[in-house]
Chains A and B, each alone.
Chain A
């Protein structure tokens, strides 16, 4: 069974640029969630994708957007990068149980640094 994978591992961008982070869900999982984890903090929910559509969103501005593909992999796009966007971005996949998300399984994360 393949776990959740994310790419790239590390990324350095400058303020105002755009970035795309990628996630491959665990085998058999069809739901992907994205989290932002600032240094010394717990993960904060950005949004979730199910059946290629956004299925819930946290308190993040529209410049954070995403996609889910037919193979359940996902992308997180961030436009107009700000210094505060520097964080570890975590992807988590989960199976659907009765239409709701059960336990989430996390990838290793992408460390984004904005200069």
Chain B
């Protein structure tokens, strides 16, 4: 079964601080892609960062970085220098390389405190 678990339904962070959102997944495949998407109250899902499973180097996009631990099937998102605009629901997702379906977690609601 392909599953994604986000164990933190809600998180909060002070503005300018750093926060880490957790994600674990379960797959028997060895080749896949991992994603973090952000869904603000406006509803539109926005890609934050992606990681190819065959790459050992962790992906980074400006203030966003991931800690990808393939053996542990863990894919956490670190947001540095948090901003008010980072407040949103964050979804972890993955796609196996031989399939077209994306599997999503249940999301983590991030609040940024001024």
Q: How far is the CA of A13 from the CA of B71 in the complex (A)?
A: 47
Q: Is the CB of A55 within 8 A of B105?
A: no
Q: CB-CB contacts of B98-111 with A at 8 A, as 1s and 0s?
A: 11111111110000
Q: Is the CB of A106 within 8 A of B100?
A: no
Interface size on A, residues (CB 8 A): 28
Q: Is the CB of B102 within 8 A of A45?
A: yes
Q: Is the CB of A42 within 8 A of B44?
A: no
Taking CB atoms and an 8 Å cut-off, the chain B residues in 1-44 that contact chain A are: 4, 33, 35, 37, 42-44
Q: How far is the CB of A72 from chain B (nearest CB, A)?
A: 15
Q: How far is the CA of A48 from the CA of B100 in the complex (A)?
A: 8
Say whether, besides A42-B4, A42-B91, A108-B42, A56 and B47 are in contact (CB < 8 Å): no
Residues of B within 8 A of A109 (CB): 43-44
Q: How far is the CB of B49 from chain A (nearest CB, A)?
A: 10
Residues of A within 8 A of B97 (CB): 100
Q: Is the CB of A101 within 8 A of B91?
A: no
A residues contacting B by CB (< 8 A) are: 31, 33, 35, 40-45, 48, 50, 55-56, 58, 88, 90, 92, 100-109, 111
